Structure 1
Amino acid sequence: MGKKGWIIYNGNLNSDKFTEQVDWLMRTASSFGFDMKAIKNNEILVTIENSTTTLTGVEELPDFVFFWDKDLFLARQLEKMGIRLFNSAKAIEICDDKALTYQHLADQQINMPKTIIAPKIFVELQDSSHLQMIKQALGFPLIIKEVFGSFGEQVYLIHNEEELVQKVTELGNKSYIFQSYLQSSYGKDLRLNVVGDQVVASMLRQSEHDFRANVTAGGNMYPYQPTDQEKELAVRCSQLIGADFAGVDVLFGENGEPVLCEVNSNAHFKNIYDCTGIDITINMMSYIQQVLEGRHV
């Protein structure tokens, strides 16, 4: 029997969109000879007792975990117990928090939109004086992104000062960032899937009626052959974050140059398969096999 592995996924996401991909990962892992179990994050509980931490609900630990969730406490505990995670808790943490992503990649010559991290608000907005600095630094329109969000649903295009005050007041004590708006990338971006040091699949996402290109927001997807510059940006961002694999979203700059949008540590793979016919679960499991056998550093 091959190496024992777990696929950790969220026990409270039970839609077909999620369960279908867990089953998909299981099939691919089995084809590589892995002895796999699919385990919900609420089936094994991080437990602190007698000044030590352990896991409740576990009889035998695996050799590795494909961590397809964002439960950082569980991820850190598994690593503390000596288990190799794909991706690591640190990589998932950085990708899950957009402010942390940009701050982590700063000073690395990564082309990114001008970004301002919103100051901490504990309860509700009572002093909006900093919004004048935002307006002067970024102008209108500008983008507000909640730092925790998926599928483009927590991204807002702000046209004027009234909308700015309204949205910031509405967000209250949520964490978010302000960003410059790239008209050159209105309604279009790239999704580049990185495994290890390679871009293994790419697609262009384009919307005819929304500034966001996300397929969930109504965008269409097309197979795409990325340039060397686009591939270099995607791989570099993934590696700087320390991800084994990632879905890197790239915007189009004013002169067509690639601009980082965000990095996803738990990127879904059905859309990229439907668009390109490339099954990136094969690339991911092959990479895991190489790492476990010491053939990939």
Structure 2
Amino acid sequence: MTLNGWIVYNGYLPGDKFRDFAEWIQRAAARLYIETKIVKNNELLGLLATDSIQLLSDAQVRKPDFVVFADKDIHLAKQLELLGIRVFNRSEAIAVSDDKIASYQLLASNHLPVPETVIAPKAFHSTPENPIDDYHEAIRILGFPMIVKEAFGSFGEQVYLIHSKDKLAEKVHKLQGHPFMLQEFIGTSFGRDMRLHVVGDKVVAAMTRHAANDFRANITAGATMQAYHPTAEEQTLAVAAAKAIGADIAGVDLLFGSDNAPIICEINSNAHIRNMFDCTGINVADFIMDYIQNTLK
């Protein structure tokens, strides 16, 4: 069977990082003689009517057999699924990955190791009163320093290291109206973590990341990277984390706990692959397309 696919990325984001990911996937598909078309999400408008679900798009010359969805446009991913198209990753997995609170809830319910986490109560808007008095028990359990992490964010930009009750009060007041959580600080992993790229049932590539002057180890913030050979325990945990949120493909970030025991930090359903290639020489795109081809046989 000759497969035909789309690779969808966000047409509104600046820079070429997401287009670059799509092109890597397209080249990997071509090596398997799979025809693909790169499509921006703003070229695929979903139409809902009483008697039909459609796409308003010049790209829909032929409905694809699959879509590699390199975006967080969850409603578009769902629209494609409602049209009977297999999406990698599925909309539910993208949604859970995008919402860090939801992902931690699934991980904890599957008894996977995560930092101890307290979910902030929902506030619809900022109030004149500072709600810090609502967090006495959370402070007792987590202590300082602690992490405050917004539910939605990328590249570590919505993650904060808090050292005192006064600073926590300031941050909590500022974040009213935004979903966020308070989290145990894993001091043994300060400025370092590992990224394991999961495809299907296996880890296909891994690296460690190291920051000299930051508790976060994001490459975009200046961290360095090094090829890594994960232990069997780390690989098993990364695959289990991806499965817990229903992801076919994921970049799983692990922290180094006590005695280097792995702790899940985050699961990325749209993890980029260029840095992994630059670090390890492994082209994750080839594994992704092999997995898609085998899944659709």
TM above 0.5, yes or no, is yes
- For the pair 1:139 / 2:173, whether they are aligned, the reply is no
Task: Find the aligned partners of 1:176 and 1:60 in 2 and give their Cα distance.
Answer: 42
Amino acid at match of 1:171: L
Show the 5 A alignment for 1:77-92: 77-92=79-94
Q: Where in structure 2 are there 5+ consecutive unaligned residues?
A: none
2:150 equivalent to 1:150: no
Mapped partners of 2:93, 2:18: distance in 1: 21
284, 287, 292: which is aligned to 1:288?
A: 292
Q: Does 1:129 align with 2:128?
A: no
Measure how far apart 1:8 and its partner are: 0.8
The amino acid that maps onto 1:283 is F
Alignment root-mean-square deviation, CA: 1.3
Aligned with residue 71 of structure 2, among 69, 72, 81: 69
- Classify 1:51/1:124 alpha carbon distance in 2 versus 1 (closer, same or farther; 3 Å): farther
Q: Which residue of 1 aligns with 2:221?
A: 217
How far apart are residue 172 of structure 1 and its match?
A: 2.4
Match of 1:116 in 2: 118
CA distance in 1, matches of 2:31, 2:14: 25
Matched with 1:246 is 250
Q: 118-127 or 148-157: which moved more?
A: 118-127
Give 2:80's aligned amino acid: L
Structure 1 residue 60, shift from structure 2 partner: 2.6
Matched, 1:97 2:110: no
Secondary structure of 2:80's counterpart equals: helix
Tell me by how many angstroms 1:51 deviates.
5.4
Identity %: 47
Deviations 1:30-49 (A, max 9, x none): 11111111111111111123
SS of residue in 1 equivalent to 2:132: coil
The correspondence for 1:172, drawn from 176, 191, 195, is 176
TM-score, length of structure 1 as denominator length: 0.95
Instruction: Name the residue aligned to 1:189.
Output: 193
SS of equivalent residue, structure 1 residue 203:
strand
Q: TM-score normalized by structure 2?
A: 0.95
Q: Displacement of 1:256 after TM fit? A: 1.1
Amino acid at match of 2:229: Q
Deviation digits for residues 73-114 of structure 1 (CA, Å, limit 9, x no counterpart): 111111111110111111111111000001112232211100
Distance 2:96 2:280 in 1: 28
Take 2:19 and 2:109, find their aligned partners in 1: how far apart are those partners? 39
SS at match of 1:39: strand
Alignment length, in residue pairs?
A: 293
Task: Specify the code of the residue in structure 1 equivalent to 2:32.
Answer: F
1:274 to 242, 264, 278: 278
SS of corresponding position for 2:286:
helix
1:227 and 2:226 aligned: no
Residues 18 and 70 in structure 2, CA contact (< 8 A), matched pair in contact too? no
User: Could you tell me which residue of structure 1 aligns to residue 56 of structure 2?
Assistant: 56
Alpha-carbon distance between aligned partners in 2 of 1:98 and 1:265, rounded to the nearest angstrom: 12
Looking at structure 2, the residues matched to 216 and 146 of structure 1 have their Cα atoms a distance apart, in angstroms, of 18
- Indicate the SS of the match to 1:150: coil
Amino acid at match of 1:150: S
